[in-house]
């Protein structure tokens, strides 16, 4: 036998569980969108770094002065 208080309590518990599930779903969708934006922003910043890097960077090769086999 269910008393009216038990029915009301169960209804409130079901309402709270549904609200918590909706909040978890919203949180995971926000974090998934944020992660994809973060990865995209990171990839774009790396691409900008490659494009904007100076071209005249020395490669660390030795100079060929006084090299015996230089033609």
Residue 34 lies in a domain: yes
Residue 8 lies in a domain: no
Rounded Cα distance between 4 and 67, Å, is 100
Residue 38 lies in a domain: yes
What are the pLDDT digits (tens) for 6-26? 999 999 999 999 999 999 888
Cβ neighbours of residue 64 closer than 8 Å, sequence gap 6 or more: 70
What per-residue confidence (pLDDT) applies to 12? 94
What per-residue confidence (pLDDT) applies to 44? 83
DSSP 1-42: ---HHHHHHHHHHHHHHHHHHHHHHHHHHHHHHHHHHHHHHH
What are the pLDDT digits (tens) for 20-49? 999 988 888 766 666 656 777 888 888 877
**pTM, whole model, 2 decimals?**
0.43
- Tally of domains in the chain: 1
Residue 39 lies in a domain: yes
Residue 61 lies in a domain: no
What per-residue confidence (pLDDT) applies to 65? 73
Residue 13 lies in a domain: no
């Amino acid at each position: 036998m269910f008393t009216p208080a038990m029915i009301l309590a169960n209804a409130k518990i079901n309402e709270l569980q549904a609200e918590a599930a909706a909040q978890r779903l919203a949180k995971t969708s926000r974090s998934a969108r944020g992660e994809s934006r973060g990865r995209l922003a990171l990839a774009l910043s790396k691409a900008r770094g490659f494009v904007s890097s100076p071209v005249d960077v020395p490669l660390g090769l030795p100079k060929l002065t006084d090299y015996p086999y230089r033609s």
